[in-house]
Amino acid sequence: MSNIAEVQIQCPYCGEETAVQVEFTDTPSDYVEDCTVCCRPIQFHVARDEDGQPSVTATREQE
Ligand SMILES: [Zn+2]
């Protein structure tokens, strides 16, 4: 069973959809990765819902 999934997210800055590889081994977790299109820092929140399904939220980096 793999703990890595490819998830489609939408950049909160430029609105481009991009696929990211996310690891769900240690959830919930937060990290920042630059958008591949506009290079601005996207804050990722990685968690599992009640059914154990992985979910990823992409927001603007908090100041
Ligand atoms: Zn972007």
Q: How far apart are CA 16 and CA 48, in angstroms?
A: 24
The answer on pLDDT for 1 being more than 70 is no
Q: How far is residue 6's CA from residue 22's CA, in Å, rounded to a whole number?
A: 6
Q: How far is the CA of 42 from the centre of ligand 1 (A)?
A: 8
For residue 57, the CA-to-ligand 1 centroid distance in Å is 14
> Is the pLDDT score of 25 beyond 90?
no
C-alpha 13 – ligand 1 centre gap (Å) = 5
Flag whether pLDDT at 3 surpasses 70. Answer: yes
> Which sequence spans correspond to the domains of the chain?
4-51
Virtual CA dihedral for 18, 21, 27, 31, nearest 10 degrees?
Answer: -60
- Each residue of 26-61: pLDDT tens digit? 899 999 999 999 999 999 999 998 998 888 999 999
* Residue of 1, 3, 18 whose CA lies nearest to 58: 18
pLDDT of residue 9: 94
Q: What is the pTM of this model?
A: 0.83
Q: Predicted confidence band at 17 (pLDDT cuts at 50, 70, 90)? A: very high
**CA 44 / ligand 1 centre spacing (Å):** 13
